[in-house]
Amino acid sequence: MYTINDIKRLLGLSTTNQVRNRIEAVKSLLAGELRRGPNNQILITDEGLGILKRLQDLYDSGLTIAQASEILRSNYDANANSLDRDFSGLISNRADRGSAEELVRALKDEIAFLRTRIAYLEERLHGRAETEEGPAWWEKLREEIDGA
């Protein structure tokens, strides 16, 4: 059994509120994995820790907590009472394919934007390197002031 502080350390989080937010996001999956200890302390089983680790992995991959918990819930196998071990098929038959396609489209758009932004910044950086060989921009101002 793991306490909130244990989970905070194991997931590499900085506050207990982050752990509580993750527990709340997948509360329906953790229903059988939560216990109360002395002084009403929240305790989580090994299986519950596994669920939270999968949630954190999805979050670390760039998804929001809400998106990650939705993926975990869609992959939850109610008959076996466990999660799918591999995430190769993140979208099960029960998942809303329209929202998944929308998410993929949004991610592709963001990648395209970031690629153009990187190209623009690299071009500016390259252009700045070429202009640095000449006199600095303030040298013209210095000559005008000295010449007056």
With H, G, I as helix, E, B as strand and everything else as coil, classify residue 88.
Answer: coil
Structure-token match 């999968």, residue found:
54
Structure-token match 């038959």, residue found:
93
Average pLDDT over residues 59-74: 88
Confidence band for 101, pLDDT divided at 50, 70 and 90: confident
pLDDT at residue 113 is higher than 70: yes
Measured distance CA(2)–CA(4) in Å, rounded: 7
Confidence band for 38, pLDDT divided at 50, 70 and 90: confident
Lowest mean pLDDT among 13-22, 39-48, 76-85: 76-85
- Spell out the alpha helix ranges (H) of 28-96: 46-60, 65-75
pTM over 0.95: no
**pLDDT per residue over 71-85, tens digit each?**
888 877 543 444 444
Other CB atoms within 10 A of residue 95 CB: 16
Find out whether 18 and 8 touch, Cβ atoms under 8 Å: yes
Average pLDDT over residues 85-104: 59
The interaxial angle of helices 65-75 and 46-60, nearest 10 deg, is 130
pLDDT at residue 17 is higher than 90: yes
Lowest mean pLDDT among 83-87, 107-111, 142-146: 83-87
